[in-house]
Amino acid sequence: MGNKKLTVAAPQSPDRRSGQKKPHAVVIGSGFGGLAAAVRLSARGYQVTILEKLDAPGGRAYVHERDGFSFDAGPTIITAPFLLEELWNLAGRRFEDDIDLRLMDPFYRIRFDDGRIFDYSGDAEKVKAQIAEYSPADVAGYDRFMKMSEAVFKVGFEDLAHVPFNSVMDMAKIVPDMTRLQSYRTVYGMVSSYIKDPYIRQVLSFHPLLIGGNPFTVTSIYVLISFLERKWGVHSAMGGTGAIVKGLVSLIEGQGSEIRYQAEVDQILVKNGKAAGVRLNSGEEIPAQVVVSDVDPATTYGKMLTGHKRRRWTDSKIERSKYSNGLFVWYFGTKRQYPDVKHHTILLGPRYRGLIQEIFKQKTLAEDFSLYLYRPTATDPSLAPEGCDTFYALSPVPHLGGETDWEAQAEPYRARIARYLSETVLPGLEDQIATSLVTTPQDFKHRLNSHLGAGFSLEPILTQSAWFRPHNKSEEVDGLYLVGAGTHPGAGVPGVISSARVLDTVVPDASSFV
């Protein structure tokens, strides 16, 4: 996954074609946001160096290799593939030449606690036929909901996802549209205005949990996900999400830029109010004309800019802000295959609202849980040894603002999940484990530099969206830019890649430094 030689990048490097020196851009972190930023900056004439704390790229999309099993650490659902195609085009390559993307059918199998099943897909007629089995009266409501989802999508995604919110006037311009689209409502409230059946309300409102949002408090802007999925589908890459990360690294190296691994940034250097480069925890300083942080904004501002007086994102504002839920993820390989289990399965627990409230509000670890079960070997058997399966089970849990002692709770919680899976969709699981790995919010905090171990940075409530979110063009330091889940437009692979699209508008062209 790239050359791991730790070389020092010069502030400017010669352009092989013109002989002119290129301005240097440093990108902190190699998650999807950082990788996309590097491709875009390089295409615009910058010499780019990515500095990655870990030993391999990906950030939350890191790949764990254990005992012949390959585990995508985080993102597994690919929507809006045109965003990836655009990056390949910018690097002079074709996405389809490097990545084999497969459409999922169904997108997800949803299993309710009483054993009832709902296969959610982009086929409206199939979805409506299933809704009719639960609640015939809600079929017409589903059509009306999808029309609203499309209207929100056209504004929230097509018009605004790649547009910076640098001033309060940028926010004021969208207020009429947001009011018309009822963005003051919550996702669950919006769904409930069209749907009466409690099962179908869950089917159409769980999506915010995949990006760190509480369906009962997150702005209804996120109902756009339903139409986004119908428009482009839900995809997975052969080779797992890690194949896309590897492909992006190949693009970046092909552009003449580099990634340095095990290179942890300690401080962003500021001279005369402008970002001037970074200092690593080894003490090495790397000068740059542009610095892009793909690190959680709370960490970027609270840990990497400690020597600079901050006007907006002060320590007290960082602490007052609301953060997304944490994640407990159990990665496991099995000695046998489970062919009846789909690629993506949502296993909903006995409680919906009550469980979510405990996670987000009380911040207590409940006895019950809901799970996202990922079985990539349903599509790509090469991710496990022959005759075996690769899985992960992801459970939304409180972030570290609660009192959960993960040192004590991780193994009992994993065992409860294993027992539940063994009794439901993976019979005999506890006797079939070939390899096992657990990550908790503590790992997100210490390994991924996520404030409070939050899985998706800031919670996407209305007062922490668009202009209210940390800006893509830093409010604190000129020449510093933010990408990733914690800035605009937010979490999820499309959102994070779109945050790098914003850089085209806010980062000066490389020619301005020459």
pLDDT of 175 strictly over 60:
yes
pLDDT of 13 strictly over 60:
no
**pLDDT on residue 7:** 33
pLDDT of 2 strictly over 60:
no
**Vertex 210: Cα angle to 302 and 339 (nearest 5):** 135
pLDDT of 162 strictly over 80:
no
**pLDDT on residue 161:** 66
* Contacts of the segment 420-424: beta carbons below 8 A, 24+ positions apart: 420/347, 420/369, 420/371, 421/371, 421/373, 421/393, 424/111, 424/115, 424/347
Return the structure tokens found at 55.
């030993």
Residue-wise pLDDT tens digits, 445-465: 999 999 999 999 999 988 898
**pLDDT on residue 66:** 97
CATH 3.50.50.60 placement within the chain = 12-101+238-320+462-513
Instruction: Evaluate whether 226 touches 232 at the Cβ level (below 8 Å).
Output: no
For domain 325-448, the CATH class is: alpha beta
CATH 3.30.519 placement within the chain = 325-448
**pLDDT on residue 457:** 96
Q: Where are the beta strands (DSSP E) in 112-212?
A: 117-120
Residue 283 main-chain phi, psi, to 5 deg: 100, -15
Give the SS3 label for residue 157.
Answer: helix
Residue-wise pLDDT tens digits, 203-259: 999 999 989 999 999 988 899 999 999 999 999 999 999 999 999 999 999 999 999
Of 113, 84, 109, 79, the residue nearest 97 (C-alpha): 84
Of 33, 36, 46, 102, the residue nearest 377 (C-alpha): 102
Q: Which residue has the higher pLDDT, 268 or 181?
A: 268
Give the SS3 label for residue 372.
Answer: strand
**pLDDT on residue 20:** 65
**Percentage of the chain surpassing pLDDT 90?**
85
- Measure the CA–CA gap between 109 and 123, rounded to whole angstroms: 14
**pLDDT on residue 136:** 97
Residue with tokens 């020449």: 479
Instruction: Evaluate whether 38 touches 484 at the Cβ level (below 8 Å).
Output: no
Fold of domain 12-101+238-320+462-513:
FAD/NAD(P)-binding domain (3.50.50)
**Vertex 296: Cα angle to 293 and 298 (nearest 5):** 110
Q: Name the β-bridge partners of 21.
A: 14
pTM value is: 0.93
Give the dihedral of Cα atoms 450, 72, 52, 512; nearest 10 deg: -90
Q: Is 499 left (phi over 0), alpha (psi -120 to 50) or beta?
A: alpha
pLDDT of 472 strictly over 90:
yes
Of 404, 402, 378, 407, the residue nearest 392 (C-alpha): 378
Q: What is the 3-state secondary structure (H, E, C) of 6-51?
A: CCCCCCEEECCCCCCEEEEEEEECCCHHHHHHHHHHHHCCCEEEEE
Q: How far apart are the first and last CA of the chain?
A: 32
**Span 69-95, average pLDDT:** 97
- Measure the CA–CA gap between 133 and 301, rounded to whole angstroms: 51
pLDDT of 19 strictly over 70:
no
